[in-house]
Structure 1
Amino acid sequence: MGLTNLNSTHLSSAKITAAQDAIAALETALAEITFNLSPEDRRRYGSINEQNKLFVNKVYDYNQSQVNLSSPEVDWDEFNKDHSSRNTLEGMISRLESLITRLNNSKTLHDYDNYQSALVDYSYTTYKAGTSAPGFEDKYKDLKQFFVKNSTSTAPPEEKK
């Protein structure tokens, strides 16, 4: 028999509410700085690659250590704010991506558990339908639609009647 209940840890209603409230608070706190860029905008502004990040950081370092070498045509206060915001956002994004990965992993285990249990129930339903137990034939007919026979089917083997 396969592994079941790979993730039997479940959040309480209070923790679900707290997490949803925290997400809402985060969305509210960041609303003024978040933008929906169109695909065209994304192509236009893009994302600076690692080499260009190193370049920006080097210019920042020069401005911090030898301001006399900095161009007077650059608004350095705004440059420094952008640099600080960018670093802050990168840290937040990294933490959120890590959290999303862990949430997806947890969801995957719950999905697997649900599917395995559903297969067990389908096998039981198939057996009971074969004994003409009341209600099971209709349930079997309703569930078997998910196991259409084709060359790529992952249907469980039918039990012999």
Structure 2
Amino acid sequence: MSDSKNQISVTMTDESMLQVSDLLKQITNAMPFLIGITPEQRKRLPKINKSNQSFIKDVEMAIKNDSSILPAYVKPDEMTKDLNLYDQLEEIIVPLSYLLDRLRDTQTLAGSEAYTNALMVYNMVKAANKAGLPGANSLYNQLKGRFDRTSTINTDEISNN
């Protein structure tokens, strides 16, 4: 953002951080059945969508009416449990996704403001060093490594060299 005004000025207390951490642990502990899958598994697994969900419900209804054609190892109740869990988790995922988006947006803004301010200070120190102000040289030498053109090309520096 090129907007130079401070849009966020917040410090979370240790108590708030602890409270949020505890609440997240409570949420995680309330669902001990949660699992992790690999990226490869995530790619391979068939995905549910609205059309598939309707199909599952149609199959569910059909086998409720007549499950005699199914072999004994097919458990229609397991399909129903899985679909119910899917629906329940969707009710949790939607607000959590909203919260995660807000957390990321707030983190991005806070980081952007911190970085923009750091660049502004660096450029002030650089100008002070060019002007020969006492003490500016050591501070400038400490900070300039970030913009050393011999190690990497970086376009973060705001002012001209």
8 Å contact kept, 1:4–1:116: no
Separation in 2, partners of 1:71, 1:53: 23
Mark the CA change 1:125 to 1:18 in structure 2 (over 3 Å): closer, same or farther: same
In structure 2, the gaps of 5 or more residues are none
Deviates more, 1:100-109 or 1:117-126: 117-126
Using the TM superposition, give the Cα deviation of residue 140 of structure 1 relative to its aligned residue in structure 2, in angstroms.
0.9
Mark the CA change 1:57 to 1:3 in structure 2 (over 3 Å): closer, same or farther: farther
8 Å contact kept, 2:147–2:154: no
* Among 39, 44, 64, the residue aligned to 1:67: 64
8 Å contact kept, 2:122–2:143: yes
Q: Which has the higher helix share?
A: 1
Mark the CA change 1:53 to 1:18 in structure 2 (over 3 Å): closer, same or farther: same
Separation in 1, partners of 2:65, 2:16: 54
Report the residue type matching 1:20 in the other structure.
S
**Root mean square deviation of aligned Cα:** 2.7
For residues 72-128 of structure 1, give each alpha carbon's deviation from its aligned partner in whole angstroms, at most 9, with x where no partner exists. 634233222211111111221222111110000101110111012112211221133
Partner of 1:156: 158
In structure 1, the gaps of 5 or more residues are none
8 Å contact kept, 1:126–1:158: no
Partner of 2:109: 109
Higher normalized contact order (CA 8 Å, seq sep 6+, divided by chain length): 1
Structure-to-structure mapping, 1:10-49, within 5 angstroms: 10-30=11-31, 32-49=32-49
- Taking structure 2 as the reference length, the TM-score comes to 0.78
Q: Percent identity?
A: 26
